[in-house]
Amino acid sequence: MKTTYISKQPNAKGLIDWTAAENNTWRTLITRQAEIVKTRACPEFLEGLNRIGFSVDHVPQHTEINSRLKDFTGWEVEVVPALIPAKEFFTLLANKKFPAASFIRIPEELDYIQEPDIFHEFYGHVPLLTFPDYANFMEEFGKIALSVNGKDRRRLFRLFWFTIEFGLLKTPEGIRAYGGGMLSSIHETVWSVESPVPKREPFDPLTALRTPYRIDIPQPLYYVLDKFTDLYKILDQDLIALLEKSKELGDFEPLFEPAGEEL
């Protein structure tokens, strides 16, 4: 996947010089998303938003985020170009660094952007990085991903896709979103929780490893965890053995037309 965006480089003080238009885009995105997630995000995400305390008026600097995030789990965000190689991505995770692209979407792509921008990275993922179960899953998953070859890494990423990016969670109030891919999307936050169209099935690692996905459509299928702490417990299983089993059994029939791509 190629990006059409140009990453911004930190200045001599290590800060990103965001323009007034870019700050306005952040303001628009975070203001409208705040209303959407109130009744559709999991309680942990909402608590994470309070813990981080994002600025509404400007794109936060990574130094702002790190000063708060480190106190909770020892993690920090790392400024990276728009797209980085998979090995670099997982190396950062294995070292408790979350890669955050240094660009924000243009107004014409306010509702949907294919590549992850800083709003997706900061708003979608950072709040839950204040919780050890989520942060530890990220770290250990990064280490496991680095232990396999590139082709197996792409298959293993399906676990990441159906949890960290597009995972749902059972709560006393009903199904809620915890995946950053939907929580940073005004459309998919609602679609994932309320639409009767997509399928929602209990999360099972082997099943997820056999499930193809597309990156450029609302997801036709979501996997649901029983509780938030179950995320880290996924790593209690032998994921490498499950990876081999998934290759042996083969993929399920896709629930979408054969277009788009997996990461």
Find out whether 62 is annotated in a ligand binding site: no
Structure tokens at 238: 């032998």
Structure tokens at 193: 């929780």
Beta bridge partners of 175: 170
Q: Is 37 helix (H, G, I), strand (E, B) or coil?
A: helix
121, 144, 180, 196 from 124: Cα distances, Å: 6, 23, 4, 23
Q: What is the DSSP letter of 41?
A: B
Neighbour tally for 175: CB within 10 Å = 16
Find out whether 58 is annotated in a ligand binding site: no
Beta bridge partners of 99: 78
Beta bridge partners of 41: 177
Find out whether 165 is annotated in a ligand binding site: yes
Q: What is the DSSP letter of 222?
A: E
Q: What share of the chain is helix, strand, coil (3-state, %, to 5)?
A: 50, 10, 40
45 vs 167: CA distance, rounded Å = 12
132 vs 137: CA distance, rounded Å = 8
Give, for 80, the enclosing helix (H) or strand (E). strand 76-80
Give the residue ranges of the annotated binding site for Fe cation.
120, 125, 165
Give the residue ranges of the annotated binding site.
120, 125, 165
